[in-house]
Structure 1
Amino acid sequence: MGRAARRRSWTAALTMAALAAASGAMGPRAAADPPAEPPPGQVEFPTQCAPPQEAGLPPADGPTTAELTVDTPAPRVGDTVTITYRVLRTPAVNPLPGELPAGTVTPTGTVRLAGAQTGEVTVTGAPGNGPVPPGAALGTHLMTGTFTVTAPGEITLAPGGYSLHTGHPTALDTPCTPAGPTPVSARLTATPLPTANLRYVALGAAHGKPGATVKVTAAGFTPGSAVTVTGRAAGQAPTADRARGTADESGRLTLELPVTDRATTAVVAYEGPAWTAAKGSGPAAYTVDAPAPPPPGTQKLTATVEPGTLSMTQAAEQTALGAVPYGEGGGAAGQLATVTVKDARGGPAGWSLVGKVTDFAGPGGTRIPGAALSWTPRCATAPGSPSSCAPGSPGTVGPDGAVLASTQDAELVGGTFTVDAGVTLQVPPYAPPGAYTAVLTLTLS
């Protein structure tokens, strides 16, 4: 009797939402409201502004209120990022004894980069002031500049010093210098450029009888990595044929793959918990030969146990995570909707359930990286199931994916399994209030 069954891959998407709590509270208003929090990205720092020597005025000490924004919070290495530096309040004053006309103050300044990339970015602006009376503050100013991302990771931006220049009636400059380090006003997370996939797989034969072994040679893999070799059906679904090995110090391995599943039309190899185009190779074509006809005068009697499929269902398509207070941040926790896996194939291949999550998109284009989501998987096996379900390791989910649950290969596998996980999103302290939504994709193979 033939027990080998076609192995199928199932994918489901689960929408997850985290809520950054708004500043308003429910119920009667307190007798005294706390001081209002500044808008996201707006910072204040002590500054000394030195008036032009010709004005004969003392230095002006006081706070500068500033705000930095970037045109993209998630660039790739090599991208150009535009920074906007807004001076909303300055201690610098009109150094002239008379009114300073509108459109006569030109700002320049710097922005400090730290984290994955360091340095200073020069920003400049066009004259945009209104009329300024004698001794009055020089108003608000807007400057922009660009820099090229050279390294992946989080990059913080803090406002630096600035200078206000006027050419009326003569060239005069008022430089403003921060009194110490300035606070971070903006952040971005840069991702590396994609790399070429140089992995490949070759077969020692292009065909064979059912149950024959084929020599598989794979190369270009990460040295020391676990490599899975599987059969693939015409519809690109994995079959029951599977073997595993470890790449040597040159990223190469050779193994023998028994091919028993007549649905196998090709062979692929990959590293990691599941097939991905970035870490896989193949397919290399392979044909399972048709069996020889029975001798004359004989009858072959066959009773068949029909294999089923590998499938999954989920209890819900959305998971709501808890709220966190604005200004404090922390872990927004929740419970993943229960997933039921049914393996009715009756073959030797186990299965793996892998999850990947996108970035969390929030108000105004704000994003929280998918790597900020972690989980603690759980898995239960129904009584009578031939296989035993093992939960994945607790840790980060992220865009590269992590195993939620799996079963091992065995002579005969199958059963019903329930899988879930506790999930937590680490929300930054000053993430703008509102809902943050991502998509968690679960792939069963």
Structure 2
Amino acid sequence: MSATRHRGTRPGVRHAAWAGVVSLLVAVPMALAGQAQAATPGTSVSFATTCTPGVVPAIHGTTITEIAVDNATPKVGDTVTVTYDVTQPASGNPTSTALPANVILPSGVVQLGGAQTGTVAVTGTRTNPPVAGNAPFPPFQMTGTFKVTTAGSITLTPGNYTINSNYIINLDTPCTIDTPPAPVSNTITAGPVTVPNNRAITDNPSSGPTGTKVTVTGTGFTAAAAITVAGFSGTTATGDATTATADSSGAFSATLTVNAASTTGIIAFEGTSYDPTKAAPPAAYSVTTVTPPGGASQTLNSSVKGGTLSMTQAGSTVTMTPVDFGTGGSSTGSLNAVTVKDFRGVGSGWSLTASNTNFTGPGGSTLPAADLSWTPACSTTAGSPSTCAAGSAGPVGTAGATLASTPAATLTGGQFGATANLSLSIPAFTAPGTYSSTLTLTLA
């Protein structure tokens, strides 16, 4: 995939020889653009763990986990994101009080070994489902980052972790490995620092009709190196090419005549064969069309940008009507209005659902979540491509129910309002006091 220029070669022959070089040249910079790397999973490992919540005796269990990384072959100086994925925590809810959604926050450490030692602090988010009293904690993920400082094989081993629950009381449950260290879950191979390529070129002018002589200047090349300068179109060489020699500072200047009407860029590299480590990024070039007198045309382009699917609510608390002890009945109220904005401009619909936890009251007394029912209603703002449909009347509860939705279509979107009349059935001799439940809305 290389070509050598011989002195005295006829122009037509020389251009054909450069064609193979530039075809390789253009394909490689496009590949270097790269794509985001997918996470590399590790090996699932398990180890005996003791968790000490403090409010009850120590809990002995087994932790099952896996450590993933976003880059399994980093370079020294790169930052690696680590995901500590606990698929089975060793502990559960240490109290008989049910925990609502989004009150559990995990944190912990990952041990580094091999070529680089130390610890990586990892933390999760409060995004748990409801957890019943004395029930096992759900799986969770914790993430953190570290900078690679040494080349070689680096092992990642799960370390101790802590589960914090912040509901009624703020309670930490630290979990320690019974026989450290735990088994290694993942290994990355770090390479040495990549020497930066500071080669760069500019073209002047960067556009013109065919036959334009373009001055191409470059910096950052190897002193006294032979430089190839060539034109290309997409991934194909145009045949326009010339050579230059870098001075003692690595700079050069060359004149390239652009004869090919298809030219989209100019490239420069050391030698006669393309090597990405010895080439500069391409400089864009466009060939203009000379319009004869008497007429001209212009193309006008506009665009509409798609947005996001989002929701807001008018408030976060609903105060329902009281009922009398000994009589009971229905405690009623209205769900705070929810505004949904579908500005994506795609063909997908959306669904707004809700679920609620048990109502908790004084002295640990509760009312079942399923005793809450609603009658949904929704409205569509004029001009919206989609039409909102209200969900069915009936119970909400932990199983959840649909508040409103729109169907898929060729073009969907718009602004919508959703609410519901709420009714909680309360038995006649329910203990007096305030009963509270968390209703969680999910838009998808």
Superposition TM-score tier, normalisation by shorter sequence:
0.3 to 0.5
Structure whose residues are more often strand by fraction: 1
Structure 1 or 2, whichever has the larger Rg, is 2
Q: How does the TM-score come out when normalised to structure 1?
A: 0.36
Structure whose residues are more often helix by fraction: 2
